[in-house]
Structure 1
Amino acid sequence: MKRVRPPAPAGRVAAWVRSAPGTHIWLLVIGITSLVIAGATEGLGDFLLHRTSSNIHELNQHPLSSLLISGFWIENPSSFVLYAALFELVHANVERWLGTWRWLLTIGVAHVTATLASQELVLLAIEGHRLPRSMTHVVDIGVSYGLAAAAGLLTYRLPPPWRYLYLASVIGFFGIPLLSGATFTDIGHAIALTLGLAAWPLTPDAGADAAADGDRSATPGRPPPDH
């Protein structure tokens, strides 16, 4: 009997990348933009970061493009390795579990909602003279809102009791800054995490539960459910 050899390491890596294409395309683009920032002069780097931000000024001038483009840049290129690890641990696992389109829908809604809500708070603070008007041009870029939403969704992928330990850790990580002088970014993270946790109906487990309920209600000899 011919033995089946396990796939080579390169084959396993290729299979992993193919299983989460959205995550790795996104990570590739972030890698390219990080190289651009790392190789740019200080003045050009500042210009690019401000031009690609989803701050109040850019949202007023280019609302759709600023919301989209801001999700493909990180402010500090040296953080790319950390983000790459988080993408593999969080985004890739969630995308493989949910499928690319449901994963993309969740993080897209979270990114847009958290950005708009946090910048609205900045605008209100400026109008109330609690923040300087220069905050309309603040650098507001990055992938952290999407990561927060995916981290919330990942809760449902873990079995108890690890699920509850993980959930407590995630809530603590994003929640503690809210109690100690929260910035608009901290509030955005909390919003994105909440949206990720609220996306339970998109998970396969939710679909399985709904199907099981339907099977039980359709079983002969059982009374129909009350409406």
Structure 2
Amino acid sequence: MTPVQRLEGDPMHTELMDVAISSRLRSFPRAAWAYVRRAPGTYIWLAILLVTSVVMRNLPPDVLAQVLGDRSTNLHHLAEDPVRVLISSAFWLAGGGWITYFISFNVFHVPAERWLGTLRWLWVVVIAHVGATYISEGALYWAIRHGHAPASAVNTLDIGVSYGLAGVIAVLTYRIGAPWRYLYVAAVLAFFAVPLLVDLNFTAIGHFTAALLGLGCYPLVRSRRGTWSPVEAVRRVRRMRAVS
């Protein structure tokens, strides 16, 4: 007997499709929560940044300037109240928009936190954020003392999450297997070095320093096992497609 093939318009086929779609929709919240739970620090940080981004959008320009200025890790605040501004400055975005950082955090912070664990990941972020802030502001202080920058630069606005991000981008070098690791670290160093040549300023110095500090966090990561290879990742995807 020849089997009867069901067409897409067949009621039974439609019902089965509806059941499959409904099942996937019901399982999505659980899958999303499981994904978030594996990198709690990153998503708590993103949630706070979302709130402060909404606040920034709704504040008058003069009030916003005052709010951000009060949280800036400039020379004036680092001399008077360093701990407060080093913490608070990391919860406000300097530019690029929240969506941009949501993507960047998922690409870099999430795999780093899952690989290192929340505590070690946080140490990398803190080392890069604090270290790059002091070194870049130290360079600005030198420029002011030698007449290469105006005295008013002590109040330069300096907020954001980019130093911590740069450090994490760099530390992921140790997650990638050879020979791809060497291509990755070369690309990272080139990306952060080019601004030093194009427009030397304290922010460019900060980003490059943060990347170097991230690479210097090797003692924190050397005990973590497992490397990632793009070739193996592609092969894994192909195998999954073949099975499905």
The structure with the larger Rg is: 2
- The runs of 4+ residues in structure 1 deviating greater than 4 Å are none
Instruction: Measure how far apart 1:169 and its partner are.
Output: 1.6
Q: How does 1:1-227 map to 2 (within 5 A)?
A: 8-76=27-95, 79-203=97-221, 205-206=222-223
Q: Choose 139-148 or 157-166, whichever is displaced more.
A: 157-166
CA RMSD, Structure 1 to Structure 2 (Å): 1.8
Superposed CA deviations along residues 140-186 of structure 1, whole A, max 9, x for unmatched, are: 00000000000011111122233222222211110111122321011
Q: In the alignment, residue 174 of structure 1 is paired with which amino acid?
A: F
- Cα distance in 1, alignment partners of residues 126 and 217 from structure 2: 12
SS of 1:140 mapped into structure 2? coil
Instruction: Measure how far apart 1:10 and its partner are.
Output: 2.0
Q: In the alignment, residue 28 of structure 1 is paired with which amino acid?
A: A
Q: In the alignment, residue 196 of structure 1 is paired with which amino acid?
A: G
- Cα distance in 2, alignment partners of residues 25 and 115 from structure 1: 22
SS of 2:200 mapped into structure 1? coil
- Cα distance in 1, alignment partners of residues 225 and 105 from structure 2: 27
Q: In the alignment, residue 162 of structure 1 is paired with which amino acid?
A: W
TM-score normalised by L of structure 2: 0.78
Instruction: Measure how far apart 1:21 and its partner are.
Output: 0.5
In structure 1, stretches of 5+ residues that fail to align are 210-227
Q: 1:26 to 1:134 in 2, by over 3 A?
A: same
Instruction: Measure how far apart 1:67 and its partner are.
Output: 0.8
Instruction: Measure how far apart 1:79 and its partner are.
Output: 1.5
Tell me if structure 1 keeps the 8 A contact 2:128–2:163: yes
Q: In the alignment, residue 24 of structure 1 is paired with which amino acid?
A: Y
Tell me if structure 2 keeps the 8 A contact 1:201–1:207: no
SS of 1:8 mapped into structure 2? helix
Question: Which residue is 2:5 aligned to?
Answer: none
- Cα distance in 2, alignment partners of residues 50 and 179 from structure 1: 28
Superposed CA deviations along residues 191-217 of structure 1, whole A, max 9, x for unmatched, are: 1111111112222x54569xxxxxxxx
Q: In the alignment, residue 17 of structure 1 is paired with which amino acid?
A: V
Q: In the alignment, residue 140 of structure 1 is paired with which amino acid?
A: D
Q: In the alignment, residue 153 of structure 2 is paired with which amino acid?
A: M
Aligned residues: 203
TM-score normalised by L of structure 1: 0.84
- Cα distance in 2, alignment partners of residues 119 and 94 from structure 1: 27
% identical equivalent positions: 40
Q: In the alignment, residue 80 of structure 1 is paired with which amino acid?
A: W
Superposed CA deviations along residues 86-136 of structure 1, whole A, max 9, x for unmatched, are: 001101110000000001011101111110111111111111111011111
